Amino acid sequence: MSKVLVIGAGGVGSVAVHKMAMNSDIFSEIVLASRTKSKCDAIAESVKQRTGVTVETHQIDADDVAATTALLNAVKPKLVVNLALPYQDLSIMDACLAAGVDYMDTANYEPKDVAKFEYRWQWDYQERFKEAGLMALLGSGFDPGVTSVFAMWLKKHKLKTIRTLDILDCNGGDHGQAFATNFNPEINIREVTAPARHWENGEFVETPAMGVKQSFDFEAVGPKNMYMMYHEELESLARFIPEMERARFWMTFGDEYIKHLTVLQNVGMTRIDPVTYNGVEIIPLQFLKAVLPEPASLGPTTKGKTNIGDIATGEALDGSGEKTFYIKNICDHEDAYEETGNQAVSYTTGVPAMIGAAMVLTGAWKGDGVFNMEQFDPDPFMDMLNKHGLPWTVEELPAPLPF
Ligand code: NDP
């Protein structure tokens, strides 16, 4: 029986709060706060209708540490689940330290003025959380999140060592728009326009953004082009699976998406430095976000499936030589929408956020300090994925990936 405070009323926040309400044995009281209170109220209304559970709502600017600390002192939650934007990670961690509350998020901190994803800023909080006897769990979404738990499950049950790891993220959904991103457009475009980086022989190797492409036949979706890019879990995986020779992250993009993104980049609309327009400073990428469809609005029209998983090659636990395993989840956009009113990209992030929060609140995962997903027993998390809407399968592949 525990009280949780969720910060952020976007698509991911909406799914997480719906799923928490469906598990009221763990989440006995749910409070939702965000920059725009009307969005919290709309989610609370939907939760009430779907589950009968009442969600308390508040307005908060989570960039303001003092205001956030005051909210935590007033609400007195056992855990804060940060589902606002990566920019708010450090201010919310500061507020948690000030109020003595555990912390969890789904994306690592990024400064607003540089598109740079690194755990360093949050890992630097290790001593402060440890000394305060508090726990911070970082990156409990799908990727990062489930992809790391998948890798650790393979290491526990199938492979003694992981030599190569490839994370394959396919969104086979069609939203019927010429161009839209399926989660926060600003964060999404910063991610895909950054140079690609993969782990190889003890260091990160950088290549131009979208410069490496492969075709892959995804179950339940079909053949898709996928592009190698940097993704933050590569950093924690490289740290916690030190024997890995190579780790790569791939994401599928359709030709239309690439075409639009290339034009937007070429004309300067993805820039994150300020430009002066009519005497006012604007950031082109933030302006672009304002004119693109809100990801949450894509729910009713999105059809198709997501397919996200890990392919790992290494020495088998049973001593039978080198083996390759593929572990993945397939999620249907329309089913996700029917259950929580949000499409599958929000669903595949919000469900693991609820599960990560459950791990902390039930004590299945516990410790003082700052933790990544790789540091805990994957089994209870994997059990909850099966029970709460993201079932997974594992199969042995006849050979490692040919590329
Ligand atoms: P949205 O943009 O839909 O929602 C973000 C929410 O945070 C909005 O409600 C926004 O308020 C609120 N917010 C923004 N700034 C502040 C602030 N200063 N104070 C309080 N609230 C604020 O994003 P998503 O729901 O798609 O994503 C949420 C998080 O999940 C992001 O960090 C994203 O990077 C992460 N994510 C992680 C994934 C994973 O697999 N690990 C995958 C997808 C997303 P307002 O409504 O006023 O704008």
Specify the ligand 1 atom closest to the Cα of 91. 18
- 198 with 327, same domain: the answer is yes
Strand, coil or helix: what is 155? helix
Residues with CB under 6 A from ligand 1: 7-13, 34-36, 39, 60-63, 83-86, 88, 106-107, 141-145, 183-184, 187, 295-296, 346, 349
Interval 129-182: pLDDT, tens: 999 999 999 999 999 999 999 999 999 999 999 999 999 999 999 998 989 988
- 157 with 286, same domain: the answer is yes
In the chain, the amino acid numbered 376 is F
Token pair 């209708």 is found at 49
Q: Is residue 101 assigned to a domain?
A: yes
Look at the chain and report how many structural domains it folds into.
Answer: 2
Report how far ligand 1's centroid is from the alpha carbon of 288 (Å): 16
How far from 9 is each of 15, 42, 199, 235, 290, CA to CA, in Å?
9, 9, 34, 28, 17
Q: From atom 4 of ligand 1, which residue's Cα is the shortest distance away?
A: 10
CA distance 214 to 221: 16
Q: Is residue 368 assigned to a domain?
A: no
Of the candidates 232, 271, 204, which has an alpha carbon nearest to the alpha carbon of residue 89?
Answer: 232
Question: Is the peptide bond prior to 144 cis by the omega test (within 30 degrees of 0)?
Answer: yes
Looking at residue 254, which CATH number applies to its domain? Answer: 3.30.360.10
The contacts of residue 319 (CB under 8 Å, 6+ apart) are none
Interval 193-242: pLDDT, tens: 889 999 999 999 999 999 999 999 999 999 999 999 999 999 999 999 99
How confident is the model at residue 239, as a pLDDT? 97
- 132 with 155, same domain: the answer is no
Q: Which of 231, 349, 351, 373 to mutate to test the pocket of ligand 1 (most atoms within 8 A of CB)?
A: 349
List strand residue ranges (DSSP E) for 110-264, in order.
135-138, 164-171, 196-200, 203-207, 213-218, 222-229, 246-252
Report how far ligand 1's centroid is from the alpha carbon of 379 (Å): 28
Q: Is residue 369 assigned to a domain?
A: no
- 261 with 283, same domain: the answer is yes
Q: What is the pTM of this model?
A: 0.96
How confident is the model at residue 112, as a pLDDT? 82
Report how far ligand 1's centroid is from the alpha carbon of 159 (Å): 36
**Where in the sequence is the domain holding 316, given as residue range(s)?**
146-341+391-397
Mean pLDDT of the chain: 95
Q: From atom 13 of ligand 1, which residue's Cα is the shortest distance away?
A: 84
Report how far ligand 1's centroid is from the alpha carbon of 10 (Å): 5
Tokens of 100: 């003595």
Specify the ligand 1 atom closest to the Cα of 64. 18
Tokens of 230: 């940097």
Q: Is residue 200 assigned to a domain?
A: yes
Looking at residue 29, which CATH number applies to its domain? Answer: 3.40.50.720
- 131 with 162, same domain: the answer is no
How far from 400 is each of 164, 184, 312, 323, CA to CA, in Å?
9, 34, 8, 8
